[in-house]
Every structure is written in C-alpha cells, then in structure tokens.
C-alpha cells in the first residue's frame, strides 16, 4: 500500500507517533488510508449539505475495510461572486483546488481518494487533481437544488438575474422581484438548471468517474446519502482491482463526455474544463474536436435555461445513463471504457430507460440533429469562441449588427441598463479573458440584463470572458486569442459590422485583413489590472480560453 511509506518500518516510527496523536489504533494503521476531500463550507448553497455526504462516504469506506480521513477543498459560489471583483476569483480557484489536493494527497501518502465536490470550479479542479495524483478515486457530488416555484411555474437562479433586467426595463415591480428572490432557490444544492456545476457533475458520470445518479439525484433526497455510502464502498473495490483515474479518463472516455455534453446541452464552461482535465490525463481536447462531435450528436435535452425542465426532471426521466442509452442507438459512444464501478460503461448503462420523452428526447426526435455547443471561428476568433447553441433562439442563429464595444463588464452593464443598447446590436466585452481580467469573469449579469429587457432575440454578445451556464441567447464567449495578448477582438471599433453564423460556426467582423493589420500595428498592451497577489501570478501563467485556461510555466 502507498500509505505503508508513512506507517510501516522502523524509519516510520516518528510518523506512527503522529498517527497515535490522531487517535489511530494499530488495527487502523494496518488498513488502507482513504482521503476524503470535503468541499463543505457555509457560504456556498451547493456545499452546505456536504458534511452529511462526507459522513456517509466515511461509513461506506469503513464498511468496506478502509480508514477514512477527511481533508478540505475550497469553493467559491459563482452566484454570490457574480458582477463584482469577486468573479475574478472564481475560475482561478480551479487550479488552487487541484494544487492543494495534490499537495495533501501526496504528502500524506493516501492509498485512495473520494472527492466530494459540487459547484462550478470545484468539480473540474478535483478531477484535475484525480488525474494528477492517480490513485483509485471516486466522485460523489452534493447534488442539484430543487427548482423554485413562482406563480405556479418552476424557476431557477437564471430567472432571478433576468428579473433584475426586467425591473430595470420597467417590466417588473420591486415587489415582484422580491417574490422571485424569496422563491427561486428553495433548497441546498447546486443551482437547479443545466448550469456549470450540474453540467460537470453529469459529465463526471459520462467520464466514468462517478456512480449512477451523481449528476442528477437532488441534494435533499435520501438517495444522495445512499449514493455517498456506495461511493465509499466503490473506492475500496477500485483499490483492490488497482483501477486508477488515468485507466478511466482515457481519450475514449473524454469523447464520450463530449458526446453527452452535446446531447445534454451543457454549459459553455465545459469547454474550459474538459480540456483542462484532459490535459492532466495526457489527452488533448480542442474546440475543433468539439465541433466534430457536435456535428453527429443530436441535442436531446433543453434543461433550464434552454427550456422549461430542471435537474429533478432529468433525474426522474432516467438521468445521465438514460441519455447515454439513447445515444447508443446511433452508436455514438465507446461502451468498452472502464468506470469507477469496476465495470465498463456498456455494462453500466445496459437497461437504463428513458422514462420521459419530453425531458429526454428520443434520438429519432431530437431538438436538433447537432449538439448543444458550437465552436465558432473567423477573423475575430482565429482560435475559436464558444456558444451554447441549444439556448439560442432560431432567429439569432444568424445575425449581423454593429459592434458596441466595451473594455470591461461594468461599462457594458451600465449601457444595457441605461437603454443604450438597441435591437440588432452586437455587444463586445473585451479585456475580460483569463489573462486580461484577470480570471475570465462570467457575464451572467449582462446576458441576463439583455434577456430581462426583452432584447434576447435581437441582441448578441461576444467576449473573451466567459458565460455562466445560466446564460442564454447568442452569447459567444472564450474568444481566443484574448484582447490582452492582442487578439483580433482588441481591434474591433465601435460600429464595425459583425457577422455571426452559428450553424456555419463562423464569427467575423467586416474589416479587411489590411485594415486589421494596420490596427494591430497601432495596438499597445494594456497595463495589468492587478499587480499583486494570486491574481497577478495567475495572469502571468494562464493560457487563452481555447486551451482551457490552463496554467503553464513560461
């Protein structure tokens, strides 16, 4: 056992004395040491229940003959961090989580790990750590929130942000906004639509790193506690069989995850996180590859904000496995890949039934023949930009309009709420990329303001920042190269005509190559917005969005 390096032999007598200080018995020191990475905290609604999940995991590990030992991981609530300087600190935590988990796992020689994440950067950060540390590992999330109810209709956090936009447009009273405020987030759990947290928890199932139901069983269901116990037992089986994350997270597994991503209509953030996780596993995932998968994968689900269904509905309809079973009808998945059950994906999903064809469309009747995401390329984005195609109204799939250029999110929001953006405009928000932000802020506030003011079917938005999974409409993010490194988005001028064709995967500005070259010759880098602390170090090491905003030594 790996933990023998800190438990066995005369040289380890000092180590054992410290285990004695922890109250360990000789019997415990003869058993495998299983680290449980707990993301519990009291500020993130998706994490406030993780103490119960962790206790259940501990029971499962102990029942199966292991010694569970808990250590922490941080997490930021994107909703609370949204729209102010706090959002600069969201994406950057993904690497802090991966790094700190690596440190704890290797320094203490754990034999196996159970990861207990839930929210946006927490899940990919721990998946990155799992690939890096490469000891037997199982994931069990805290589960999604139940949908709220306003006027008899299911609602979620995206409704709340759009309500603020509606209030700014004079279409909703303060009392009505307060009614939404008190109703849209009724339970603990990751926010109830197919936003980033739920996208990544579902894709953890598709990757083979989580048990059935990891992505969809609601946080408040007792089934979630049972799932956590099974996760604790499962990791002991993986340890016996010596099945490690890199045995599971293969190129074929990532292709499965991309395929399920397209069928579910996941958050655009998945195209930041999947490449970053894959890189840790020695696999390359590119935006162009996503287009190849999207071209042959039908979009089967329109969960909020793309449609009126929520995570609880997906769970009742059969969950991720039911979606995957639909995809097998077109031979779109590799069923021979290994999973944390110790069985192949084909064995796992055999018999999974689609119980609600209104929530999970059959492959014969998809929402579209192509996937939920698209990577757009052109003279604005030579290295691609990403859009959630399944959340774009048909009339905005092809759009041309004048650029309304802003060099930060705050200026764009002021213009939108001030009535300065009109039908047909293309809002450009730049210098908000991984390096320029720094931290690549989510743009849920401006996209929600556009939707809330009734402009969602006539106004597009492009940015080198990113979008929340709660964003909808013609919102194109991850423009690469970003403005801070002199990408073409930095060269757009007010009034330039921008052409968007989402089905053709193109994004261009009507400016000649010669004019763009002349503008580039005049362009000068901006002074860094942050010059000290973690963000300054992050900005020096981070790559553009097309590479997953991974860190690399320069």
CA 89 to CA 106: how far, in whole Å? 26
Q: How many residues does the chain have?
A: 554
Contact 139, 115 (CB under 8 A): yes
Give Cβ neighbours of residue 60 (< 8 Å, ≥ 6 apart): 228, 229, 230, 231, 232, 233, 234
For residue 156, what are its two tokens? 């979620």
Q: Are 541 and 553 in contact (CB under 8 A)?
A: yes
Closest CA to 124 of 254, 319, 309: 254
Q: How far apart are CA 428 and CA 425, in angstroms?
A: 9
Q: Enter the DSSP assignment of 532.
A: S
* Active site annotation includes 267: no
Order the strands of the 426-429 sheet from edge to edge. 373-376, 385-388, 475-477, 460-463, 426-429, 398-406, 497-501, 506-509
Kindly state the helix (H) or strand (E) to which residue 29 belongs, with its residue range.
helix 26-29
Pairing outcome for strands 385-388 and 373-376:
antiparallel
The three-state DSSP-derived secondary structure of 45-57 is CCCCCHHHHHHHH
Task: Using alpha carbons, select from 490, 489, 498 the residue that is nearest to residue 396.
Answer: 498
Residue 356 tokens, joined:
């609600």
Residue of 158, 468, 471, 544 marked catalytic = 468
Q: Is 247 exposed, middle or buried (0-12, 13-18, 19+ CB in 10 A)?
A: middle
By annotation, the residues acting in catalysis are 468
């Amino acid at each position: 056992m790996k933990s023998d390096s800190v438990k066995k032999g005369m040289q380890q007598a000092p180590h054992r004395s410290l285990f004695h200080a922890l109250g360990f018995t000789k019997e415990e020191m003869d058993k495998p040491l299983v680290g449980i990475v707990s993301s519990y905290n009291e500020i993130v609604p998706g994490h406030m229940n993780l103490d119960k999940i962790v206790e259940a995991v501990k029971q499962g590990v102990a029942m199966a003959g292991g010694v569970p030992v808990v250590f922490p991981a941080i997490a930021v609530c994107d909703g609370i961090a949204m729209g102010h300087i706090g959002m600069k600190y969201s994406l950057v935590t993904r690497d802090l989580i991966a790094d700190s988990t690596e440190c704890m796992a290797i320094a203490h020689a754990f034999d196996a790990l159970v990861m207990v994440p839930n929210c946006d950067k927490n899940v990919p950060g721990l998946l990155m750590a799992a690939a890096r540390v490469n000891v037997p590992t199982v994931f069990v999330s805290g589960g999604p929130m139940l949908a709220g109810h306003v006027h008899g209709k299911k609602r979620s956090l995206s409704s709340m942000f759009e309500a603020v936009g509606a209030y700014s447009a004079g279409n909703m009273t303060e009392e009505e906004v307060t009614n939404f405020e008190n109703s849209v987030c009724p339970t603990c759990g990751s926010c109830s639509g197919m936003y980033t947290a739920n996208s990544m928890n579902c894709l953890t199932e598709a990757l083979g790193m989580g048990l059935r139901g990891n992505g969809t069983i609601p946080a408040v269901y007792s089934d979630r506690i049972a799932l956590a116990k099974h996760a604790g037992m499962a990791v002991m089986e993986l340890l016996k069989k010596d099945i490690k994350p890199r045995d599971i997270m293969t190129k074929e597994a990532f292709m499965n995850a991309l395929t399920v991503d397209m069928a579910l209509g996941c958050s655009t953030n998945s195209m930041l996180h999947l490449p970053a996780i894959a890189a840790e596993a020695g696999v390359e995932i590119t935006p162009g590859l996503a287009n190849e998968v999207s071209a042959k994968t039908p979009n089967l689900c329109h969960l909020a904000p793309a449609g009126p269904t929520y995570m609880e509905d997906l769970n009742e309809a059969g969950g991720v496995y039911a979606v995957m079973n639909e995809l097998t009808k077109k031979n779109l998945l590799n069923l021979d890949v290994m999973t944390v059950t110790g069985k192949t994906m084909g064995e796992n999903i055999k018999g999974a039934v689609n119980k609600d064809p209104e929530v999970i469309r059959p492959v014969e009747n998809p929402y579209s023949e192509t996937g939920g995401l698209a990577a757009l390329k052109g003279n604005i984005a030579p290295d691609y930009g990403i859009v959630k195609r399944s959340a774009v109204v048909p009339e905005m799939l092809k759009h041309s309009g004048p650029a309304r250029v802003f060099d930060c999110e705050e200026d764009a929001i002021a213009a939108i709420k001030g009535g300065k953006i009109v039908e047909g405009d293309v809002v450009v928000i730049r210098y908000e990329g991984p390096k320029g932000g720094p931290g690549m802020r989510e743009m849920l506030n401006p996209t929600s303001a556009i939707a809330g003011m009734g402009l969602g079917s006539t106004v597009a938005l492009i940015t080198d920042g990113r979008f929340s999974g709660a964003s909808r409409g013609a919102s194109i993010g991850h423009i690469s190269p970003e403005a801070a490194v002199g990408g073409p988005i930095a060269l757009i001028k007010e009034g330039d005509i921008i052409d968007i064709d989402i089905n053709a995967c193109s994004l261009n500005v009507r400016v000649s190559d010669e004019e763009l070259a002349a503008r580039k010759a005049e362009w000068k880098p901006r002074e860094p917005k942050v010059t000290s602390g973690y963000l300054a170090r992050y900005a020096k090491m981070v790559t553009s969005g097309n590479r997953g905003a991974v860190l690399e030594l320069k």
